[in-house]
């Protein structure tokens, strides 16, 4: 099992399949993109499946979420998922995507074994989308969402990040639209994980503010069954339910005490936290001929060293060197 000294067990594995992306969300990466990893640095499809298999078969991982960068850009995505879905015990498999190209592959992803998708959509307005992501691809995302729903990847979840003066006025509109389409919306507080280090706490739209914006139009009551557990989102019933909305207050109300995650970057590094400043090199060990027992021991040791919290509120907080897109959000 993947335990740490605070009694937490990691059962939820986030796998980044690539650090590349076809959008340039301003809260994530600069206009010119980043120094992408080269092919030799990336884990191969077989290496990814071997490590996921180890995590699921030996280390107690029960959920695998593929992310990036943009995971739909990974050519081997469908076969990787099919191989992971064939593992025993079968893990829950999900995908976090910006939705571009999802219209083409939603059915194939479902057939390969994807159980759920989270699609990021921050705005209903194509112009705001273009400003926020620096690409005119709003309609592609909407098409992707519709295809995911049609393929039965339900409930389709939406992730939205609000930025002050850019899209924060859309909070209630986004929720109304999501409910209308039976998508489950979650707002995420903007975190200091952008490559350009432009995050500014005073500019961040807080969970409290988000709830206030929503309460101007909807009645929100805490979801009674929602013992928050390891789920990062606090969920609210909208106008008495059954529709819900989630708010992930990673900065103002962090959920580190219940964190059950472990992360594998596209270049084969284990991270025990989004905000970790250190990594454990599984790729080097794997390519150096390590057997499964040795790899498992490295992974266990990486998690054992997990800190109590991300420490965003501490004066000594340092943003990790790698941005969200390289870690796998």
Residues at the site binding ligand SF4, with contacts judged by CB under 6 A:
21, 23-25, 28-29, 68-70, 98, 120, 325
If you ran DSSP here, which 8-state letter would residue 201 be given? G
Give 50 or 104: the residue with its C-beta nearer to ligand SAM: 104
Beta-carbon count within 10 A of 309 CB:
16
Name the 3-class secondary structure at 253: coil
For residues 299 and 295, what is the distance between their CA atoms, to the nearest angstrom? 6
Give 238 or 326: the residue with its C-beta nearer to ligand SF4: 326
Give 254 or 329: the residue with its C-beta nearer to ligand SAM: 329
Shortest distance, position 323 Cβ to ligand SAM, whole Å: 8
Shortest distance, position 258 Cβ to ligand SAM, whole Å: 19
Q: Which does 29 bind (CB under 5 to 8 A by kind): ligand SAM, ligand SF4, none?
A: ligand SF4
Shortest distance, position 200 Cβ to ligand SAM, whole Å: 11
Q: Which does 24 bind (CB under 5 to 8 A by kind): ligand SAM, ligand SF4, none?
A: ligand SF4
Q: How do strand 12-16 and strand 280-281 relate by DSSP bridges?
A: unpaired
Helix residue spans in 16-153 (DSSP H): 45-57, 77-85, 102-112, 126-133, 138-150
Q: How do strand 261-264 and strand 12-16 relate by DSSP bridges?
A: parallel
| Residue of minimal Cβ distance to ligand SAM | 329
Q: Which does 190 bind (CB under 5 to 8 A by kind): ligand SAM, ligand SF4, none?
A: ligand SAM
The order of strands in the sheet holding 280-281 is: 220-222, 234-238, 244-248, 184-188, 157-161, 116-120, 92-97, 63-67, 12-16, 261-264, 269-271, 280-281
Shortest distance, position 100 Cβ to ligand SF4, whole Å: 8
Give 193 or 243: the residue with its C-beta nearer to ligand SAM: 193
**Interacting residues toward ligand SAM by CB under 6 A:** 21, 27-28, 67-68, 70, 96-98, 120, 159, 161, 188, 190-191, 193-194, 324-325, 329
Residue 94: φ, ψ to 5°: -135, 170
Judge whether 232 and 207 are in contact, CB under 8 Å: no
Beta-carbon count within 10 A of 216 CB:
8
Q: Which does 64 bind (CB under 5 to 8 A by kind): ligand SAM, ligand SF4, none?
A: none
For residues 255 and 248, what is the distance between their CA atoms, to the nearest angstrom? 9
Give 29 or 185: the residue with its C-beta nearer to ligand SF4: 29
Shortest distance, position 182 Cβ to ligand SAM, whole Å: 19
Give 4 or 122: the residue with its C-beta nearer to ligand SAM: 122
Give 97 or 265: the residue with its C-beta nearer to ligand SAM: 97
For residues 111 and 181, what is the distance between their CA atoms, to the nearest angstrom? 23
Residue where the block lists tokens 């002050």 = 164
Residue where the block lists tokens 């939406």 = 158
């Amino acid at each position: 099992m993947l335990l740490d000294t605070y009694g937490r067990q990691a059962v939820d594995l986030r796998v980044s399949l690539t650090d590349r992306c076809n959008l340039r969300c301003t809260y994530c990466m600069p206009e010119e993109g980043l120094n992408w990893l080269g092919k030799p640095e990336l884990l191969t499809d077989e290496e990814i499946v071997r490590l996921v298999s180890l995590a699921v078969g030996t280390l107690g991982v029960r959920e695998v979420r593929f992310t990036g960068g943009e995971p739909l850009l990974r050519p081997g995505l469908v076969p990787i998922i099919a191989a992971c879905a064939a593992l025993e015990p079968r893990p829950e498999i999900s995908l976090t995507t910006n939705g571009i190209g999802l219209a083409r592959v939603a059915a194939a992803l479902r057939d390969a074994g994807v159980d759920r998708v989270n699609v990021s959509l921050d705005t209903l307005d194509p112009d705001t989308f273009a400003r926020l992501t620096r690409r005119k691809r709003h309609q592609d995302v909407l098409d992707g969402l519709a295809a995911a729903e049609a393929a039965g990847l339900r409930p389709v979840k939406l992730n939205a990040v609000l930025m002050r003066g850019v899209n924060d006025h859309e909070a209630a509109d986004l929720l109304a639209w999501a409910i209308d389409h039976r998508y489950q919306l979650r707002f995420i507080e903007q975190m200091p994980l952008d490559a350009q280090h432009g995050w500014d706490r005073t500019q961040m739209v807080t969970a409290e503010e988000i709830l206030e914006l929503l309460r101007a139009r909807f009645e929100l009551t805490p979801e009674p069954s929602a013992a928050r557990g390891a789920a990062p989102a606090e969920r609210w019933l909208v106008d008495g339910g059954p529709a819900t909305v989630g708010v992930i207050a990673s900065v103002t109300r962090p959920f580190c005490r219940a964190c059950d995650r472990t992360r594998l970057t596209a270049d084969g590094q284990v991270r025990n936290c989004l905000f970790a400043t250190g990594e454990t090199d599984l790729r080097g060990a794997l390519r150096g001929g390590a057997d499964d027992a040795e790899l498992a021991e490295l992974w266990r040791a990486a998690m054992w060293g997990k800190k109590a919290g991300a420490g965003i509120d501490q004066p000594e907080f340092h943003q990790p060197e790698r941005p969200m897109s390289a870690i796998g959000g």
